[in-house]
Amino acid sequence: MLEIKNLNVHYGGIHALRGVDMQIKEGSIVTLIGANGAGKSTTLRGIMSLEKPSAGQILFNGADITSQNTIQKVRSGFTLVPEGRRIFANLTVYENLMLGAYTRKDSEIEKDIQWVFELFPRLKERVDQKGGTMSGGEQQMLAIARALMARPKVMMMDEPSLGLAPIIVKDIFNIIREINSKGMTMLLIEQNAKAALEIADYAYVLETGKIVMEGSGKDLLNDERVKNAYLGEAH
Ligand code: ATP
């Protein structure tokens, strides 16, 4: 179980996270929803040590991992699929996947490549294609597959549906569900609040750096305040 306690992040004079508390149970899908600028990406970046928290604690299975750097966090089992995919445009699908395994020293990397190819047959067909020439949906699949190559215990995803056509979004959410069904703990942030709440076991709502509401995905889907603020026609 992952526990975030009183997480604070400052960007210079901007107090972007103001005491975020979250609990993520092993094997669950947890989503963090909120408007633009609420601090969703900052929360994930804080957990991954990509931003240094100004206060707070991160506990993983009881151990305090707050002071670990990003590489140590990857070794502890955390991975982040960043917003905008950030795949290596000039490297092939295969090379991108191998880079996902850069912290590993075991002998099962090839086996895991075959496993992600089963999950994403489209990537197998395009193993030698340059990442930058793939479609947006394919690049998102590659970003997820690359993250899986680190053999994470907790997978964090920043806006996986951003900029994708509805039919591809459906595929991506199905894949998230499938990865979770194999036991992966997932923390998902999304502007597509409806889709995220539909698959989430538990959800948090972030407003200007603070958690203002939490509950099961189903409860929040039916909550009038959430409906008005995040599930309107525009979302
Ligand atoms: P979005 O959905 O638009 O990505 P978000 O909820 O992920 O929004 P964050 O990107 O975490 O929000 O940003 C939270 C706040 O911190 C915003 O006010 C943003 O302008 C600010 N912020 C984010 N990154 C930086 C940075 N590198 N330097 C200064 N301010 C930043």
The whole-angstrom separation of Cα 56 and Cα 66 is: 8
Q: Whose CA is nearest to atom 27 of ligand 1?
A: 11
Supply the pTM of this predicted model.
Answer: 0.91
Helix or strand run (H / E) with residue 205: strand 202-207
Mutate which of 10, 11, 158 for ligand 1? The one with the most ligand atoms within 8 Å of its CB, which is: 11
Q: Whose CA is nearest to atom 11 of ligand 1?
A: 39
- Tell me what pLDDT residue 233 has: 52
Identify whether the C-beta of residue 183 lies closer than 8 Å to the C-beta of residue 214. Answer: no
User: What is the Å distance from ligand 1's center to 233 Cα?
Assistant: 24
Q: Which two tokens mark 36?
A: 């633009």
Q: Is 119 exposed, middle or buried (0-12, 13-18, 19+ CB in 10 A)?
A: middle
38 Cβ inside 6 Å of ligand 1 = yes
Weakly modelled stretches of the chain, pLDDT under 70: 233-235
Q: Which two tokens mark 154?
A: 């907790």
The whole-angstrom separation of Cα 93 and Cα 29 is: 27
CA-based nearest residue to 83, from 160, 163, 166, 195: 160
The whole-angstrom separation of Cα 96 and Cα 143 is: 8
